Every structure is written in structure tokens, then in C-alpha cells.
Structure 1
């Protein structure tokens, strides 16, 4: 268990690490491509503190939500209000609101804007780079979040082992499909439909989608391996990913309450961590699709307050749960950033690809309108999740 102080620092760890890794991806990619990146910020708004090393001011800003990497742009002045940047390249507005000028420690008489009087060379603008390089820069944050997720999950498996509930039947419901087929308490399910089974969650994954027809279930009973044909009965159940009610298959067995931790090699841990990351990503995509189709209610979306509460609870349950939450949030941020909404990475990538197809850059007016639509969409999402957070706080 973590200390009481560590528990309440947990939200800062969760937010900070996930955002830092994402922005670090953009920053490193920009540097590799030769783009001038004068600001690397955790948080938005007024600069609280930081340090300047080389060309870049590494800072922590007032509003502890998200972060950004400031990159040199052909339209730096016009887009500064949208991108959280600097309104005056000769005299830096650190907070983006005109209230603070460049501290003496940041100003360099020989430096480039916004920390010096020299103009940024055109070959160091984002727009001067190839479409492939710009896509790389924009997608690097997502890539880093995926790497973080795989690394954390693989590390957890390596350190704690593969934790699972064996597929051993504890009891069989009287007159349920399993009982009628001949399954008994103590049977270990070893295969369904010819596919090997080890964990109980695999039984659920195989049985739940079957609402017609039968399943070939193989069990180990003592020294015997037996095969049964089981026809699931259809019931109303909750989708474990979307939460929506839908018809599901049930065979009427209860699992034995036991947990096994299986030691893994580095290779096995990496394979399992990657597999879990992929499953997590497909679940997020499924939920997003459900939001669009109406199958998933927007009331289920949580925001910063919910994340903070979940972080504290995870920390109380130990480091394993806290790091699992970090992996989950990192993967969510990766997938959500690929949604083609302006100002998100996916929207910016879409703009680059569209310009490539068009053969020329969109006008400043078009890009400003595109960005402002994105800002409004993101603000609407923030208001929605904040409302959901406050409702959950006051209704519990």
C-alpha cells in the first residue's frame, strides 16, 4: 500500500506522466525534423516556473490540464491565441494573455523569437517540412502514449506475473444449459469450440456472444477429458465494454473464487502487455463508436474530477492498480487524440493529408476557422465531462 501522502499525489502522477510522455513525443519528433520548438509546457496559461535550456523553455503552467509544445509556424502571430502561444515574437507574452512579459532570465539578445530579437528561419517552420515529417510530428505523441501503455503493462506482468482466475466450475445452476449437458462442479474448462481455455474471462468471451446454436465444451474431470455440447440460453445482459443492455448467451455456471499468478519471462510479459494494450484500444474504439451510434450514453463519460478520484482509489489499492490506471489513461489519450477533430492530433493530421491531396496549403482564414471549430468541440466536451463529474460527486 502507498503512504497517505502518496495517495493524494496520485492524480498529479497520473495526469503529469501521461501528458508529459505525450508532449515529449511531439517535442522529440519536432527536434528530429529540425522544427524550432521554444516552449515545452505541462499545463496551460500563465507560466508558473521552469527553466530554459538551449532554445527551449521547459515550464509548468497554471492550469494543470494537458500541455503543449510550442512550434515555430509561418502564421505564428495569427494562431497564437488558438494554440496557447505567444502573441509577440519580439517580446514574449508568457501566459498567452498579455499579462506577463519575458523574464530577464529567458531573454537572449542573440536568440530567436520569442526569446530574442532574431526572426525564426523559414526552414525551421512546421510548414517548411514535408507532409510525412509533419504527420510524424503530429502522431509522435500518440506513439509515445502507446509505448508507455505497452511498457507499463509489460512491466506489471513481469513484476507481478499474469494474474487470472482459472476456468474451474464452482457450481452449476440447476436445470441450466450446463447442467442439462452434463457439466459438474469441479470441472476445469480446457477448450470451447476447439480453442484452448485457461482463464475464466476467456470462457465469458466465448459464451457471451453466442445467442443461437450450441458450443462444444471440453473439460478436465479428474484424469478424464470429456466433451459436451452446450446450447446457451439467451438473457438480457450488460456489455462489459459499452455498458449497453443487449442479448447475451448464458450457460449457468459459477466460477471458483481463486486467483493464480503465473510468473512470466521478459518476452512473455512483452507479448501479454502488447496484447492487453491492443484489447484496451479496441474497447476504446468500441465505446467511441457506441457514442456516435447512441448505444453508449454520454452520461458515462468522466473528466478530470473522476480521473482524480479514480487515481486516489487506485493508489489506495497499491502500486499495481495505480500503474494499471496510468496505462489505461495513456491508451485512452492515444486513441482519443486520433479522432479527426480540429486541434486534436487526428484533426491536424487530416488537415496535412488534405493539403497534400489538394496540392497547396489552405488559406489562413480556412485554417483559423478549422482550429476554432476544434476549440469549440473540445470546450463542449470539457463542459460535458465536468458536468458528469459534478453530478456524480453530488449524487453519491
Structure 2
């Protein structure tokens, strides 16, 4: 955070984001508990002292002082409520028909899984609404179909396409724009289409073999290695995290990358394709800062995730709205949720196999930074996409079979079902106490790790 404004925006965005995610999660528990006949003593938005609310039936619906999520309190929900007394001083009997523990285990499992399911539904609805109302796509600032770059060893490269070629005909379309090229490609899956390009004033006839239709995948011409030039101007740099190759080379937020090794790239996609072909070879950047051209900047890409990268965040390209029909919006929302969920599961697997370091995880401070950045970015996707991704994270993490989490509750209920008797309250209390200590230590480490990533600390590192 560079100033007080950024801090305030991040805090407000974090409170709203996490508040909505947690309240929706707790509403899932609440709704199914009510359907199953479990007595819900309170449904709270926020924590701490009660500010205001209304009691309807057995439930106190209230708003509390600290707006960091919320909670649902069910009679007999935790072992200590059965072993001790309630707030009113009366013993909570295991035989109380309204108590959580008096209901069948399958109902308790449903109540436990309802919170994560509510998060999954929220993520899906958010993305379906986004695709149906917005679906921001790049605004094509150029009228010509100029190929900005051709990925090495791609289908297009093998067919003879080169950077700078201008597509004059594609299949049956004459003088097409890039949208028409994509349309023609979608009409000719698994076919070889004739393509005419203008190369340095000369007409060149080429043939492009298109891949077969892949169900659930929206074909884009970049799938065959052709990266279109649809914007003018250099690549804008939005942010450069400390410790990345770009930061070590001296790149800063607000800079503009005019050329890479003399190639005038306009999009990050072209730069990424160029770096993958170079396999980590040092790059010479031509950088514009405050209107002045800097001396050549040498940067060494490093392998991150699945490819070679410089580690900076680019300024998003200009966008336009292209709303999808309801059916396609639902399909895209499902694809988004599936892809993000698989990524989260892959990260969790990486933690246990030591392919992913715990220090790479983000906690409340990291989420607040991302929320603040999303709030300041143009368009709806950074905001809605982040909210949906965090909702999916919350749902999946709560399903992990760890005591205190919903998945831990379900695991204990499954064990009791196999044993055909309840685990003693004393044993449950010890399990929850140990799990609580582990979670506190884990989150303390995550928060400490978040804080050390803040600019005020990262600038102190060599």
C-alpha cells in the first residue's frame, strides 16, 4: 500500500467481501438447520456486542459491532454446550428435540455441508450474472487483422505464418476482422482452411489446419499460435511485486514496455509466447517512463507456475461488454467454477507434496490487498471474479476434514456412523481444543507471512 487511500480502500473492500462470503456461508447452515427442525438461537451479521436486531420465534436475528462476517448458533452445536449450561443457565439436554445433537447424523451432515454449498452457489450465480450482463472482452482498437506474433512450434508457425502478416482472407471471408476470423474457425473445426496474407506488400497463400471441436472450450485463434494485434501502443505496467525478475531489473508500475529485443509487442500474450520460445533467455526491454525512454533494461525471466515470466502485472487492455445468452452464460459460469476449484485442489495437493510452499498462501492481509487492487481496477471482472474465487476457496477449505471446519464435523459424524455410537464428549472436546490451537498457530503464520509481503517490509529486503 503506497498511501492512506489504498489502505482504506483495501480495508473497506475486504470487510465487504469477506462479510458477504461468510454471511452467505452461515445462511447455508441456517437454512438447512431450520428445514431439519434444529433450534437456531441466533443468526448474526458481524461479531461482538449486539447493535440491533429482532427476535422472531426461537431465533435472534441481529447485527453486531464487528462487521467481519457472521455466525449461526444452534442449540447443542458444540460439545461444551451439552456438557455445560446455556446462556440462560438451563442445562442443554441431549434429548432436546430442537438440539443439533438430537437429530439424525445424516441431517447433521447436510447442515455441515450446506455452508460450503452456499458458497459454491454464490460463486456460480455471481459469474452467471457477470457473463449474462457484462462478459467484458478486449476492445479491438485496430481495424486491420495484423498478426502480432506467432508462437514457436505452433500449428500456425508450422503452416508458415509470421509476425507482421496481415490476413486478407480466411476461409470464405474476405477482408475479415478478428471476430470474423474466429467465426470462420468455429465453422471449420478439424478442417484445413485457405488463408491469404499480405507480407511486406506481397500476397502469400497459406493453409491452416484447425483443431477438432473440444466440448466446453471456446476456440480462439490463439489456440493455433496466432496472436492478433488488436490494440495500439506499448504494454502498460500496472504493478511490479518486489523480488520478481522485473523488479530486480528496475521495472516500475506506470512504466510502458515499448519493445522486447526490438519486437514492438502490444499485448502480454505476445510477450509470454516470445518468452516461452526463449526458455529463460535474457530479454532486453525498451521502457518508457514519464515520457522518457530509459537505457536498455536487461531482465532474466524465471519459471513461475507453468511457464517463463517476468513477474509484473500488466495494465488491462481496453474492454467492451459482450453479454452472453442465458445458456452460454450458465455454461461459462460452470466452466469458471470448475477451473478455479481444480486449481484450488491442485494447490492443496501441492502443499502436502511440498510442490507449493505455505509461504505462497495468502491470508486476511493478502486478501485485503487483492480486494483493494480489484476495487481500483477497471471493469467488473476483477471484482466479481475475485469474489467468486474467494467464495470457492471458502467452500473448499471448509470441506477439508479438519476438526472445527465443516469437513471435520462431517468426518466425525462418518466415524460415529461406522462405530454405531457417539464419540464421547470429553474426546470431542480434546479434539476441538487441539484443532483450535493448530488453526491459531497456522493463521498466525499466514498473517505474519502476509505482513512481511507488504511493500514497507519488502523494500527492506536485498
Matches within 5 A, 1:177-188: 177-178=153-154, 179=157, 182-185=160-163, 186=165
Shift of 1:287: 0.6
Matched, 1:58 2:32: no
Please state how far the C-alpha of 1:182 moved relative to its aligned partner.
2.0
Q: Check if 1:264 corresponds to 2:264.
A: no
- 2:363 is matched with 303
Question: TM-score, with normalisation over the residues of structure 1?
Answer: 0.70
Q: Determine the C-alpha separation between the residues in 1 that align with 2:75 and 2:224.
A: 53
| TM-superposition CA deviations, 1:87-122 (whole Å, max 9, x none) | 742537xxxxxxxxxxxxxxxxxxxx69xxx97961
Mapped to 2, the partners of 1:27 and 1:306 lie a distance apart of 29
Stretch of structure 1 that moved more, 8-17 or 345-354 = 8-17
Contact 2:79–2:429 (8 Å) recurs in 1: no
**Stretches of structure 2 lacking an aligned partner (at least 5 in a row):** 168-180, 190-209, 226-275, 282-301, 309-316
**TM-aligned CA distance change 1:79 to 1:316, over 3 Å:** farther
Match of 1:89 among 78, 86, 90: 86
Return the offset for 1:50.
3.6
Find the aligned partners of 2:31 and 2:108 in 1 and give their Cα distance.
13
Is the contact made by 1:302 and 1:385 (CA closer than 8 Å) also made in structure 2? yes
Q: Is residue 2:42 matched to residue 1:39? A: yes
Q: Which runs of 5+ in 1 are unaligned?
A: 81-86, 93-112, 205-231, 238-242, 250-256
Q: Residues 75 and 332 (structure 1 numbering): CA distance in 2 closer, same or farther, change over 3 Å?
A: closer
CA contact (8 A) 1:79 1:368 kept: no
- RMSD of Structure 2 on Structure 1 (CA): 3.7
CA contact (8 A) 1:344 1:374 kept: no
Partner of 2:439: 378
Which residue in the other structure is 2:457 paired with?
A: 395
Q: How does 1:165-244 map to 2 (within 5 A)?
A: 169-172=147-150, 176-178=152-154, 179=157, 182-185=160-163, 186=165, 190=185, 193-195=211-213, 198-199=219-220, 235=279
Determine if contact 1:25/1:143 at 8 Å carries over to the other structure: yes
2:25 is aligned with 1:22: yes
Asked if 1:341 corresponds to 2:344, the answer is no
Instruction: Give the structure-2-normalised TM-score.
Output: 0.61
1:293–1:198: structure 2 CA closer, same or farther, 3 Å change rule? Answer: same
- Once the two structures are superposed, what CA deviation does each residue of 1:6-49 show, in whole Å capped at 9, x if it has no partner? 87632221011101100000001100000011022234454454
Q: What residue number does 2:16 align with?
A: 13
Which of 65, 70, 86 does residue 67 from structure 1 map onto? 70
Alpha carbons 2:136, 2:319 under 8 Å: kept: no
Secondary structure of the equivalent of 2:40?
Answer: coil
Instruction: Report if the CA contact (8 A) 2:23-2:71 is conserved.
Output: no
Count matched residues. 325
For 2:306 and 2:21, locate their aligned partners in 1 and report how far apart those are by CA, in whole Å. 37
Question: Which whole-Å CA distance do the structure 2 matches of 1:377 and 1:155 have between them?
Answer: 38
Residue 286 of structure 1 is matched in structure 2 by 346
How far apart are residue 146 of structure 1 and its match? 0.6
Give the C-alpha shift of residue 380 in structure 1: 2.1
